[in-house]
Structure 1
């Protein structure tokens, strides 16, 4: 057992192989992943209190280096970046903290949290034992540990765990990472971090390793158990949802029901801590949305809603209620669960399609009954002692069954459904038992003294001949049911709820509960408030479960009129003024070869690359851009030739006229890789373009062995074994070639293996210069079959003598240029970039309405939004994001909204909306 003392508070934080302990009591670490840098400071309290109301006892946050040192040596720990204030607020609310300072954080965040300027350092190599890199990491640690150190539990704060790096095991094994990870570990320790260290996916000596996953709990548990048998097993990232990227479907595949099932899978396996990543996702404001591997153009959308329990707007969702129910169950059953060990359940006979897993804590038993069937079924379990229990389980569900759980000295509980409360409420020890709407449950109490049933409610029950056992057959109504008992003079009660009523029941503190038909919210000052509907007054809640209207400031409004819709007036966006961008007037700086964003000292935004092309005739040609890492709009003589979306290396057809032609390429920095062995890729265009090239789609025509079947990689294929495919291509008059798209390793060109250091086949994208391996005429590519269909595999070929000469570059980082003219918008120019500006007044809201505002960009193309000079982020109307968050905290009395639209589309249909949950007014809950 390892021990850490917090001398200033007297708290003792310990752990063994089963769980963490606070002051000797085992605790389930139920952590909400919430990033302070993904919302305004004014929203922190609301989100944190809602997390606590869902049963979270801990907060997990990354610290984003690029937020705190956006420019070298210019540190920012103020306002929305005041991470110390965030930790202090967690402490005020009684929430422990898992601090994850990186320096690499991934998080679908630009550059994985590294500042853009770090990529300009000569000889730097990221996430390895590199002198240049570690020099700047150490400077960052000097500053970030100042914030964390004084807020550790050992110093009177609530930081209980500190993470070393992040997911390094996805890159290499522990031995290869040892020097680098040890340097980071020692850097934290030497700077006063004295709480336990953790890692996730990859470890280092002296740190507790956790697992990151959504499914496959058994596999991940076995891995961490093998590596660290003497430490608690925690899920450092339990992926409650998923991120979204431009042009992809909405990431809503992880339903609330499946979320519940996966959480039960984690605890049935033996995990005693879960960090819900994300619990609240927030927003990728400005240019901070990242890019990840898996294709050439997986760029994060501006929303980081993540389909998390709390929405991007801080609203509770069905997943939130699922998390709350699970959290209350874990808390109520913790005395059994946290000290338990897995046991063999093979002796319990179950029908096909039903599984039973079990854990024991001395004589107490917890079973997890799962169903793979298509219909709800009542399963009868005959236990080793001969007792048979009915368990009602829905398709895809896991139901917890408690057998002989000690709820009070001398009183044991058996229940074939979940419990949510096991504590003193209003002076009475109270158990809440809940099940799905309309289901039945068996609840049995066995005591060493006579149990007296004091109620007259018409519940079905039986008592044993000695009166020491009572068995209830409950039906779970919409109306709460209360059953009062006494055991040897001690009062005990059961509250029976269905899931609808359970979702309207809140534990607001130890022994403090609120019940009623309402939706919870938090006002700016942190006070718990609730929107009541008309049925709330009709619910007869037991004592100790205060309906929301009791003690609230609801004198001015009854429960009935509080449910009436509040008509909110949305600010109108009118009087738009347009400032078209005339590309021919853009004044740039000369460069022999185009530079990337960082080399040009521009972190984010747009760059315009310009050049002149001489043509001896009117002709069509193919422009090859071998090194392009972002979306680009290409213009010839002021007319758009097209949008390049597939990047890495790209091509586009151009129409040239005889004589001189202007070529301009408008490139938006769409976000740096947030995870990859190739972090720090140059952004934008960073090589010249080549005319008269050729682009060949290579997905068809592959041969599976000599004389074998022909395989098309854009179609579904079922190939047996380790199959190597081959394909020929011909080069005529070209001396350079790039293979781009879903390559796989080992890759061979004309029998020679092409080195791809660090590449893994699941990345499904690379841009490989194969010029050194090609020759005129027929060439052969060989590579293993991995999967199909794939969305891109191209050969781009060109001749080195056809490179474009001089270039100029100009940045468009700051929005509307001061010198830009303006005109009232009647119709935007056809595919000509433009800024659009308008003003709107801050909406006036009733004091009891908690509104959330968003911007719907109907009719726009692709670009950036600013509010009062604050960059709200990128937009691209190809889905899945439709609405963009407008924080009320950033509004003034009069506000300026600016859009930069790459196609100059008219903003006539753009509008502000209040989110769907603001058509209610709210009552305050006191106490």
Structure 2
């Protein structure tokens, strides 16, 4: 149960409890790094400046390296100043001892790009990652190393971790901020059940710490994570006198991995949850994910396929969703007022009477440089309140910030801002305040200066000596309003916009100069040479319209000449034809196959794909129905003498089919759809989530022989020692009905008895085997009141034999005493009876992993005939105009195919069928050629690609324009 609940419950509840209630402390920087990255209980200090960390989670492993810059720039343009990443082990050491830090795996280049963009990096080095990634990031070869117990104080495991860290950590540590790089925080381990923050419960944690420090870790670090939740601020009580470091969330789950694209309300929901952090003393956050990306190759776990879109702010294809613009508003506010937010204490009591309407909740932060008051409307309707001389409307769910006594610069103070401030941007000797208001809302901004102020623009800006006041209703606008005044040598510019304009406003830099660009849906590259500024903008192809674009330098506002939009219709689809086909590796010949007495799990031959072939010989004494029993995981297709015989789910552990008397070549094709991410799993890695077929293989005439036990009951026990007294007498007045998979402990430690009755067996049965897939977490087994077995650890299969002939002649009382020590507990998986008894052992197995070479030129022929049950390769070509703008986003739709993989121009797009609403697979534009492109499909079910087509994603397409303007020196 824990194994499955953790996918949902652990990530939403349990990890939050670990990080918030248990330990959210951070180890401080070394003396060498402290001048560059430091903190106290009120906030982060980076290079001597109080810094609000607005971080975006993404994985370089899920993005082609040609698109790293594009995705990072989109994040930067949304106001983020930090990136958070995993350094996934099996991405860099897929084959044992062969480390790869080149191309898409060039972590150093990625971190250098982050630095080039003047952003920071939080690096989560593992060795466990989760991340809905195949095997949680563990290399497959690790499963075949003797004695390896993961995430524990286990010398073999630590030995392999150390070898990986010897290659990984120098790449990261050479790029710490004190060494001129981007890295400001490091996370060791990830979501470990026993230790978060600075908790170090055992030698495994000590070992990781010692290794990292020995290798040169100098920036602050922590274990497992901080405040993981979909609403990290919770009830808003973030101040903690016992915490010596800032409050930070390393995983603020923005949407979820089960969603593709935006759904209505996402932006409002996560916007509010972000502002709760800002309003209640949080010092930063990291959205997981800000950009999801793709599971290329065989990297998906069993919950995903090719897409890891996550419903994120930046979509799988780089498109921008409404939530992107919500995140941008919060980010720029947090960074604009970081001098307050990173050095504040609670001032709610001071401002509790600022409004009288009890529908509005008030919180406030105070610091040496000013105060911020937050008006929170948690309701579903707008609320109007009066604040000083402003009648404000607080929207449903909105947290509205008011600025008080804020030191804007050396000579200017914002005494009161009763209007939304989108951002404050310093531009040489000009400081720009951007206000955000809708028509009719108040523009109430009141400042004072050290010397007399001079109005340089509008009469609406009232100046009286040292006092500067803007107090007017927001008019209808077709472009931002601009008000300017000077105070000494400094210019203060006030730009007034509505939400439509602030969404389309970007604060950028080029050639050491800052620019504010308004009117574009997205601004990509900006460059400046002498007196010319050049910028690239994007507009969505769906609903694109010509917008005014204004560039604000420190001296002027420039209206750009924006050409009329000329759209080309997006193609509906490109049908593929002229298909060629060839059989995939189907077991012909055994050269290079792994030979063994019993079948070995997939990966035993060092193959890392989700496909494998098994071969052996069957000697059948008489014709009839036979049952094959063998442990397994994934999907199976059996062939007898080369002809399809039967398909089954391998984890059923048995399958029945007809066989004729004689000697037969028996072949099994095994495939899986991703390995489990092993969330919170501790223990022997060879005991969990093996794929293919493995262990003793038996065959017997008749069957099936495995049945599932039902009619379960449970009763609570008081203490662990109750097991010594044996199971209490079964009485339905004391026992309650139990459903396999349910938690009986309410996420807490506890003990319980579970009971069912094993039916009387068929006369002559000499042996049955009880099959336990998983119990949570320790189990003691009793037969008719007598203890017969004990097992420690959840999610580890184990068996119990019953061989007493007298016992088998009657119904049997089966009792299980379960000890639960963390989170949910009970019987995770169905308990089954195996009554196969004596059966013929099948030995002499051979294994060959992988589908074969999809790019080999031999064996191809024109596709003909009907689909077969044999795995097959197909290839075709298609033509696109990949160089011409606008940019269409191309996908491939594997309609009516089975399970498999797709390559375009040699690049593996990932696995299908998709598990999200978007069923087609994204083709990164950097992998397309202008003109002829090749597609290769490997379909494990042998289904023909008659209906496969290339399609566009209309909502992701964009129009790209390059604009220039002349500016003043």
- TM-score, shorter chain, exceeding 0.5: yes
1:189 to 200, 205, 213: 213
In structure 2, relative to structure 1, the CA distance for the partners of 1:61 and 1:363 (3 Å cut) is closer
Which among 848, 852, 856 is matched to residue 814 of structure 1?
Answer: 852
Matches within 5 A, 1:356-367: 356-362=362-368, 364-367=370-373
Indicate how the Cα distance of structure 1 residues 53 and 469 shifts in structure 2: closer, same or farther if over 3 A, else same.
Answer: closer
Change (3 A) 1:695 1:498: farther
What is the root-mean-square deviation of aligned Cα atoms in Å? 4.4
1:222-252 alpha-carbon deviations (Å, 9 max, x no partner): 6x957x62222222222223334xxx99896
Distance 2:866 2:817 in 1: 48
Structure 2 equivalent of residue 629 of structure 1: 633
Q: Structure 1 CA distance, aligned partners of 2:789 and 2:376? A: 49
Measure how far apart 1:462 and its partner are.
9.3
1:684 paired residue number: 692
TM-aligned CA distance change 1:219 to 1:396, over 3 Å: closer
Contact 2:777-2:825 within 8 A present in 1 as well: no
Asked if the contact 1:730/1:779 (under 8 Å) is kept, the reply is no
CA offset at residue 150 of structure 1? 2.8
Moved more, 64-73 or 172-181: 172-181
What is residue 163 of structure 1 aligned with on the other side?
Answer: 187
Return the match for 1:412 from 414, 417, 428. Answer: 414
Residues of 1 paired with 2:159 and 2:188: CA distance? 17
1:863 equivalent in alignment to 2:900: yes
> Which position in structure 1 is the counterpart of 2:279?
268
Find the counterpart in structure 2 of residue 53 from structure 1: 77
**Residues 582 and 43 of structure 1, relative CA distance in 2, 3 Å threshold:** closer
Name the structure 2 match of 1:602. Answer: 607
> How many angstroms apart in 2 are the aligned matches of 1:904 and 1:240?
38
Given candidates 42, 45, 48, the residue that maps to 1:24 is 48
- Give the one of 358, 361, 370 matched to 1:355: 361
- Superposition deviation, residue 44 in structure 1: 1.3
Distance 1:374 1:2, change over 3 A: closer
> Is the Cα contact below 8 Å between 1:419 and 1:433 reproduced in 2?
yes
Distance change >3 Å, CA 724–CA 735, structure 1 → 2: closer
| Residues 6 and 153 in structure 1, CA contact (< 8 A), matched pair in contact too | no
> Do residues 371 (structure 1) and 397 (structure 2) align?
no
Match of 1:496 in 2: 496
CA distance in 1, matches of 2:743, 2:37: 54
Deviation (angstroms), 1:327:
1.0
1:515 CA displacement: 0.9
CA distance in 2, matches of 1:116, 1:229: 40
Greater shift, 528-537 or 362-371, is seen at 528-537
559, 578, 581: which one pairs with 2:581?
A: 578
> Which runs of 5 or more residues in structure 1 are unaligned?
202-209, 291-297, 382-386, 760-764
Change (3 A) 1:522 1:66: farther
- Which shows bigger deviation, 339-348 or 249-258? 249-258
Q: Are 2:339 and 1:335 equivalent residues in the alignment? A: yes
Residue of structure 1 equivalent to 2:768: 735
Aligned counterpart for 2:568 among listed residues 565, 568, 581: 565
Q: In the alignment, what sits opposite 1:762?
A: none
Cα offset for 1:410? Answer: 4.6
1:531 pairs, out of 538, 543, 560, with: 538
Q: SS at 2:376's partner residue?
A: strand
| Residue of structure 1 aligned with 2:249, choices 215, 235, 252 | 235
Q: 1:814, 1:482 → 2: CA distance?
A: 65
Gapped runs of 5+ residues in structure 2?
Answer: 1-26, 716-730
- From 288, 291, 296, the equivalent of 1:285 is 296
Contact 1:289–1:300 under 8 Å retained in 2:
yes
Provide Cα deviations, 1:382-410, integer angstroms capped at 9, x if missing partner: xxxxx586543333333333333333445
Residues 618 and 666, structure 2, Cα contact 8 Å, conserved in 1: yes
How far 1:318 moved relative to its partner? 1.8
Question: CA 1:32–1:465 in structure 2 vs 1: closer, same or farther (change >3 Å)?
Answer: closer
Q: How far apart are 1:729 and its partner, in Å?
A: 3.0
Q: 1:793 to 1:447 in 2, by over 3 A?
A: same
CA offsets 1:566-590 (integer angstroms, 9 cap, x no match):
6579765321112245857464654
| Bigger RCO (CA 8 Å, 6+ sep) | 2
Moved more, 390-399 or 259-268: 390-399
Q: Deviations over 1:275-322 (max 9, x none)?
A: 2222222222112223xxxxxxx4332222222222222222222212
* Cα deviation, residue 504, structure 1: 0.8
8 A contact 2:129–2:136 mirrored in 1: yes
2:86 is equivalent to residue 85 of structure 1:
no
Query: Which of 755, 760, 779 is the matching residue for 2:813?
Result: 779
> What TM-score, normalized by structure 2, do the two folds share?
0.80
Alignment CA distance shift 1:631-1:728 (3 Å): same
Partners of 2:632 and 2:264 in 1: CA distance: 32
The alpha carbon displacement at 1:81 in A equals 1.8
Q: Give, in angstroms, the shift of residue 129 of structure 1.
A: 2.5
Change (3 A) 1:794 1:925: farther
C-alpha change, 1:356 and 1:746, in structure 2 (3 Å) is farther
CA distance in 2: counterparts of 1:264 and 1:694, whole angstroms: 59
- Per-residue CA distance 1:363-396 (angstroms, 9 max, x = gap): 8332333333232222457xxxxx5865433333
